[in-house]
Amino acid sequence: MSDQNPSPIQQALNQLVAGHDLSGPLMQQAMTQIMEGDADPAAIGGLLIGLRLKGETVDEIASAAAVMREFATPVAVAAAGLTDIVGTGGDGASTFNVSTASAFVAASAGVRVAKHGNRSVSSQSGAADLLEAAGCRLDLGADQARALIDQLGIAFLFAPQHHGAMRHAIGPRRALGCWSLFNLLGPLTNPANAENQVLGVFSPDRVAVMAEAMKRLGARHVLVVSSDDGLDEISPASPTHVAELSRGVVHEYTLDPESLGSSPQPMDGLKVTGPQESLAMVQAVLEGRGSPAARQIVAFNAGAAIYVADKASTLAAGVERAFEIIDSGQGWTLLQRYAEATQSFEGS
């Protein structure tokens, strides 16, 4: 492409170098170029770094997510009440798989869960790594995922099964080796279009931006969370910044463990070195025998999912219900049933 006729991604790079935000249409055009495999890898890397250094806007995030959704393989399931609980990663905390454990607690409370996720990028164990260690198949098609949601109330939507066009960005993402726009886009591109979400981000300054992007994308009830101790979860140890989207309005506030009916718990003992260690901790929590901090962080985040799905009238009530599920052991039973169900499907 000549300089006289720059491609959309080249135009975007020129805008970023000049210190400008990208318009929604230009972001859409550049993202389409990437998804269609027409963008040079170096240009993709430059775009990601330029956006990160500048700071991604609501327009840029929502426009890029809309394109990713268009290229995704959808899971055709009724959206009403469908909920996801997911983090952007990038917090570097290496904690066990809190959101995945929380998803099975929420599903045990009657929440219909479409858990979108991938293998580890920035942590020691991604959601896919954990579930694979638990005996779950990941290579499920859209119809199989829909059947699991209908039968068990939960399915894991493995990102590579639904976002094939992302293969064009894998090389630049790996070459950069750092957090980028695509970390933000993953939680916004659930293939089942879950209307409710608990979305963790690693930095408080992204909380309001992500909530506004979710609003732009048509979400119903969302909690975007980031804790003072750097977690992309609701923390058991320190205050957590929240942007809540409800009834079309975003409002921000701060949570602390006391406001959720618990005393602060130190983060000691929540780190893992890999999927097997994470699975052991998840099993302990879901069987009702985890450490106080592990139980609390799962109850807080599962309670948030129960709340956004309207299975509890307040966040505190959702947390109380989550503790009841944890103590009952229903979450571990559901995870075992889920693993068996995934293995029952024929073919790959």
3-state secondary structure string, the chain? CCCCCCCHHHHHHHHHHCCCCCCHHHHHHHHHHHHCCCCCHHHHHHHHHHHHHHCCCHHHHHHHHHHHHHHCCCCCCCCCCCEEEEECCCCCCCECCHHHHHHHHHHHCCCCEEEEECCCCCCCCCHHHHHHHCCCCCCCCHHHHHHHHHHHCEEEEEHHHHCHHHHHHHHHHHHHCCCCHHHHHHHHCCCCCCCEEEEECCCHHHHHHHHHHHHHCCCCEEEEEEECCCCCCCCCCCCEEEEEEECCEEEEEEECHHHHCCCCCCCCCCECCCHHHHHHHHHHHHCCCCCHHHHHHHHHHHHHHHHHCCCCCCHHHHHHHHHHHHHHCHHHHHHHHHHHHHHHCCCC
Average pLDDT for residues 208-225, to the nearest whole number? 97
Locus of tokens 């164990």: 125
pLDDT digit string (tens) for 246-305?
999 999 999 999 999 999 999 888 998 899 999 999 999 999 999 999 999 999 999 999
Determine contact, residues 215/195, Cβ cutoff 8 Å: no
Q: What is the pLDDT of residue 87?
A: 86
Average pLDDT for residues 308-325, to the nearest whole number? 98
And the tokens for 204?
Answer: 């408080």
- Phi and psi at 246, nearest 5°, equal -150, 135
Q: What is the pLDDT of residue 180?
A: 87
Determine contact, residues 275/295, Cβ cutoff 8 Å: no
Mean pLDDT of the chain: 93
Number of Cα atoms under 13 Å in the Cβ half of residue 98: 34
**Residues 122, 126: Cα–Cα separation, whole Å:** 8
pLDDT digit string (tens) for 237-255?
999 999 999 999 999 999 9
Average pLDDT for residues 4-27, to the nearest whole number? 95
Which residues touch 144 (CB under 8 Å, ≥6 apart)? 342, 345
Confidence band for 1, pLDDT divided at 50, 70 and 90: very low
pLDDT digit string (tens) for 150-191?
999 999 999 999 999 988 988 888 888 777 899 899 899 999
Residue 336 has pLDDT above 90, yes or no: yes
Residue 121 has pLDDT above 60, yes or no: no
Inter-axis angle of helices 330-344 and 98-108, to 10 degrees? 100
Domains of the chain in sequence order: 8-55 (no CATH), 83-343 (3.40.1030.10)
For residues 267 and 328, the model is more confident at 328
Q: What is the pLDDT of residue 269?
A: 87
pLDDT digit string (tens) for 64-108?
999 999 999 999 998 789 999 998 866 556 889 999 999 999 999
Residue 326 has pLDDT above 90, yes or no: yes
**Residues 92, 130: Cα–Cα separation, whole Å:** 17
- Phi and psi at 118, nearest 5°, equal -150, -175
**Residues 16, 2: Cα–Cα separation, whole Å:** 19
